[in-house]
């Protein structure tokens, strides 16, 4: 794989472009589409129409989906509330609990590497006089349980910590977090979007009171999600954020998206049947990709814990290479970079910064999100392509050359002209 590799050829059976950004969204499973299709056409009833067969049919489909979702997460069907997706679920959970338990306290605990749907919701609540504590994470991306213990006080009403991180794929110790919360009489919400259907997740065993779920991360449709809300020990009450009609036990009004809900239910059913086998397969592909990259390239490292991690996630930094240049070089592979292009500035990812990584390392990171439809041939092609481009880019990098010669870049005094 030297400089002779002018262009990496796609082998037979590999169709370009290759999709490896399954944490951003996943393709719709054909079986999910098949389950949804009738509800767009012949079975078009409104699930709230209680006086004719069209409505009953729609209502029955919604209740079946409720059961499919509940089974996957170890809940009761009555504890599932349908929403338009994870962002709404996070908003409903956090704002709904904050409002309902205002008399009891105004203190909320979260962590710095949460999804923006949680962070921005917490920031909004700060404007209304709530106190929010943002816990740091260790270098492996996991919170320190001692920090959480210390952060709790008599005014703490809610802890919201994600089950699996969307960028670095790290799994938080939610079972222990939930146990701590229950000992202190504090409610525990988890954004479980990246974990549900990929790793074992059980609301009872994991001591979870409220959990956000999204369909499009588990091969279901976009625009539909769910919120699990515990009914007993403790009974969680949530103040509605959208009013009108009192649908979904008064927690979330609005005509239900029946085809979407059917799709979410079917996606959960498939995940339950295939998760163990799929997880093992994805872990194998992920480790193969990692080993290939590490065997051919120096100065690469994995961001976040390798042990506590989603099977399909590999977030890797290729030091002395700009993430954006690398993405352009591998433009026939869909992955995402550690720096988000916000307006005209290239901001390194706040998640990677929270791990203590410098801007240079954060800027050079790539997130590979492997999924149900990725193949070994695709992994081999992507590995070869990345190795080829990283080597080419480093040939152009004076910093890489200096490091190879043993120069310590931290000791250099750069002269300004």
Residue positions annotated with a catalytic role: 341
- Relative to beta strand 210-214, strand 18-19 is unpaired
Peptide bond into 319 cis (omega under 30): no
Q: CB-based contacts of 155: which residues, under 8 Å, 6+ apart? A: 104, 105, 106, 107, 131
Q: What is the number of other CB atoms lying within 10 angstroms of the CB of residue 292? A: 18
In the sheet that 313-318 helps form, which strands lie side by side, from edge to edge? Answer: 300-302, 313-318, 365-369, 336-337
Instruction: Report the candidate in 93, 108, 79 with the shortest Cα–Cα distance to residue 240.
Output: 93
Q: What is the number of other CB atoms lying within 10 angstroms of the CB of residue 114? A: 23
Q: In angstroms, rounded to a whole number, what is the distance separating the alpha carbons of residues 223 and 112?
A: 26
Q: In angstroms, rounded to a whole number, what is the distance separating the alpha carbons of residues 68 and 63?
A: 9
Q: In this structure, what token pair is assigned to residue 7?
A: 């262009």
Q: In angstroms, rounded to a whole number, what is the distance separating the alpha carbons of residues 26 and 371?
A: 7
Instruction: Report the candidate in 29, 26, 18, 22 with the shortest Cα–Cα distance to residue 379.
Output: 18
Q: In this structure, what token pair is assigned to residue 100?
A: 């309902």
Q: In this structure, what token pair is assigned to residue 142?
A: 């996991």
């Amino acid at each position: 794989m030297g400089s002779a590799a002018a262009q990496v050829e796609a082998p037979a059976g590999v169709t370009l472009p290759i999709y490896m950004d399954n944490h951003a969204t996943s393709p719709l499973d054909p079986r999910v589409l098949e389950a949804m299709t009738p509800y767009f056409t012949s079975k078009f009833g409104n699930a709230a129409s209680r006086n004719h067969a069209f409505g009953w049919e729609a209502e029955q489909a919604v209740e079946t989906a409720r059961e499919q979702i509940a089974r996957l997460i170890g809940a009761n069907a009555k504890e599932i509330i349908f929403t338009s997706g994870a962002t709404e679920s996070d908003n409903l959970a956090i704002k709904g609990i904050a409002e309902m338990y205002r008399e009891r306290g105004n203190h909320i605990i979260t962590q710095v590497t949460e999804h923006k749907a949680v962070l921005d919701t917490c920031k909004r609540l700060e404007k209304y006089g709530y106190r929010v504590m943002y816990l740091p994470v260790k270098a492996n991306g996991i919170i320190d349980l001692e920090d959480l213990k210390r952060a709790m006080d008599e005014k703490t009403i809610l802890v919201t910590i994600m089950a699996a991180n969307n960028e670095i794929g790290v799994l938080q110790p939610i079972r222990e977090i939930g146990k701590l919360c229950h000992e202190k009489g504090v409610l525990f919400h988890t954004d479980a979007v990246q974990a549900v259907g990929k790793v074992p997740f059980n609301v009872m065993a994991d001591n979870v009171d409220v959990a956000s779920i999204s369909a499009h991360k588990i091969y279901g449709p976009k625009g539909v999600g769910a919120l699990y809300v515990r009914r007993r020990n403790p009974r969680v009450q949530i103040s509605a954020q959208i009013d009108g009609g009192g649908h979904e036990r008064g927690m979330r009004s609005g005509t239900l998206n029946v085809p979407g809900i059917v799709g979410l239910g079917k996606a959960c059913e498939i995940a339950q049947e295939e998760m163990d086998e799929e997880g093992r397969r994805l872990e194998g592909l992920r480790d193969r990709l990692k080993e290939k990259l590490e065997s051919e390239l120096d100065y690469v490292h994995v961001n976040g814990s390798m042990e506590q991690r989603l099977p399909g996630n590999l977030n890797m930094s290729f030091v002395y290479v700009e993430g954006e240049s690398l993405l352009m070089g591998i433009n026939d592979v869909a992955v995402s970079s550690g720096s988000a292009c916000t307006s005209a500035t290239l901001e390194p990812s706040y998640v990677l910064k929270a791990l203590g990584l410098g801007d240079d390392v954060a800027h050079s990171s790539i997130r590979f999100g492997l999924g149900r439809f990725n193949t070994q041939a695709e992994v081999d092609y992507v590995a070869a392509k990345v190795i080829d481009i990283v080597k080419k880019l480093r040939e152009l990098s004076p910093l890489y050359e200096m490091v190879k010669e043993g120069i310590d870049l931290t000791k250099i005094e750069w002269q300004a002209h």
